[in-house]
Amino acid sequence: MHPAFQAILTIIIGVGGCVGYFYFSNQFLDKVVFPPKGVHAGRNITRANMIRPWLFLFPALTALGLYLAYPVFETLRLSLSERVPGGGSQFVGLANYEQMFSESKFWEAMRNNLLWLIVVPALSTVFGLIAAQLSDRVRWGNIAKSLIFMPMAISFVGAAVIFKLVYDTRPVDQDQIGVLNALYLFFGGNQPVTWLTQVPWNSFLLMIVLVWIQTGFAMVILSAALRGIPEETIEAAIVDGANPFQVFFKIKVPQIMSTIVVVWTTITIVVLKVFDIVFAMTNGQWETQVLANYMYDKLFRASDWGVGSASAMIIMLLVSPILVWNVYNARKEMQ
């Protein structure tokens, strides 16, 4: 069957199935299981209303449980066991973790990931804040925002190609087609540099790609926060003689601090999962390895599910403080 037909069929089955499920399960509940008539009409309505939420939730909960919750525990189990030849697995305690900790590639990935965690959220937030503040003050601000925001729509792989062209290197006797080398030679460099092999600069060059993508996100959120600041506070500061920079740093920034934290943590999560950029641009060579790509290497190139799962658990461990913090805040907000 042609995949296009398969896709259309899936949409029909998926959508039709969903609607059908919700409709008929509700009908079934109301007409057959707890019909609101007869001796127990009142009791039946109450009971039906107790069950109905779970009818609405059932497909979503199943999918969430199967595709997100179950894997967390299964990965934990896999990280503590190893595959035995002929199928099945056996418990090996922390052996996978020990093996992973003894690999220099893992520590290289950890070190790079920490650098990514510091550099990317910091630069994206700062640039985003600058862009938000500047574009709110000019008439063509919306166009500027659109253009800075645009990389959000571009895939990591597309961005990797875009920046590979920027970092491209040609032999010394030819014209450079990469902007970076052209600028380098223009400002007095001796010969073209193969940038992506230059440790430690290459890691930063990869980070720039993500900063380029994430700045737009930071800008959009921070711009909304800046507009939400009550004008009286700013007016009062100006009356008291504050200059524009003081207004920005002492009045505006403190008031949007909680939004800055949100932006920072959201980008942090993106950074922890970053895979495509490194995979496409250097594939972890020349000391640019990061955790997500290390994990992919272990799982699908070395076929080592134990160590691969162990490194996935490390990513989970790094994410969990943010997870707890988010859940805590969400609960506080609901009360």
Residues whose CB is less than 8 angstroms from the CB of residue 187 and which lie 6 or more positions away in sequence, other chains included: none
Task: Tell me the longest C-alpha to C-alpha distance in the chain.
Answer: 95
Rounded Cα distance between 117 and 114, Å, is 5
Secondary structure of residue 87 in the 3-state scheme: coil
- Which residue's entry shows tokens 């920005």? 248
Asked whether position 185 contacts other proteins by CB under 8 A, the answer is no
Rounded Cα distance between 146 and 151, Å, is 10
Q: Is 76 exposed, middle or buried (0-12, 13-18, 19+ CB in 10 A)?
A: middle
CB 95 within 8 A of CB 82: yes
| Residues 139-178 contacting other proteins, CB under 8 A | 141, 144, 146-158, 160-166, 168, 170, 174-178
Single out the residue of 99, 238, 246, 253 in contact with other proteins (rule: CB under 8 A).
238
- Which residue's entry shows tokens 């600041």? 229
| Residues 265-304 contacting other proteins, CB under 8 A | 265-266, 269, 272-273, 275-276, 279-281, 292, 295-296, 299-300
Q: Which residue's CB is nearer to other proteins, number 136 or number 287?
A: 136
Single out the residue of 32, 39, 42, 60 in contact with other proteins (rule: CB under 8 A).
60
Rounded Cα distance between 17 and 259, Å, is 40
* Least distance in angstroms from the C-beta of 300 to other proteins: 8
* Least distance in angstroms from the C-beta of 111 to other proteins: 19
Asked whether position 87 contacts other proteins by CB under 8 A, the answer is no
Instruction: Give how many residues touch other proteins by CB under 8 A.
Output: 123
Asked whether position 200 contacts other proteins by CB under 8 A, the answer is no
CB 240 within 8 A of CB 85: no
* Least distance in angstroms from the C-beta of 176 to other proteins: 6
* Least distance in angstroms from the C-beta of 175 to other proteins: 5
Secondary structure of residue 199 in the 3-state scheme: coil
Q: Which residue's CB is nearer to other proteins, number 153 or number 199?
A: 153
Asked whether position 257 contacts other proteins by CB under 8 A, the answer is no
Asked whether position 18 contacts other proteins by CB under 8 A, the answer is yes
Within a 10 A sphere around the Cβ of 56, how many other Cβ atoms? 12
* Least distance in angstroms from the C-beta of 215 to other proteins: 7
* Least distance in angstroms from the C-beta of 212 to other proteins: 7
